[in-house]
Structure 1
Amino acid sequence: MKQLPPEYYALLEELQAVDFVLVELTLYLDTHPHDYDAIQQYNQFAQQRGLLKKQIESKFGPLQQYGNSYSGYPWNWDDAPWPWQV
């Protein structure tokens, strides 16, 4: 498997933490749809997630399939490790 620098793992951990917050806020907003502050938090974390994803993919390759991530040239979906392998 390809060796990755410590920065990869730090960014991936940060992305996972942001994803956790987004899931929790989604669950909360399902039962509190008029909580303006929670919606603001959700949007801030969604924006942060987009920036993190872009940063990771620009340095280390795609994170998601089916059009949710771009591929580099040559087609780099077979480059290991996949995010769930680390």
Structure 2
Amino acid sequence: MENEHERMEKLLKNELTREADKIIKEVEADESLKDIALPEELDTGLKTKIEQYEAEKAAYEMLSDKDKEAIRIGREIQIQRAKTNNDTP
């Protein structure tokens, strides 16, 4: 059974996907954007980052639910530590 966190995560992913699809369609339909090209260095860097992200996402998906939960808790602890450190003068 899904917990509240998992349901919220799915809802957010679905909403982001819908928004991304909408933006992609708008950009593809705009004829004035057809001839725009990225500089090669920027294009290569972007492709590298995308490939890295996809590899990390695939690795994350292979983790057990326990490991995913441990990562989530670790992130929450990092956020709390950062907040605590920012509050300290």
Alignment TM-score, normalising by the size of structure 1: 0.38
Higher RCO, Cα 8 Å, sep 6+: 1
Counting helix residues as a fraction of each chain, which structure ranks higher? 2
Choose 1 or 2 for highest CA Rg.
Answer: 2
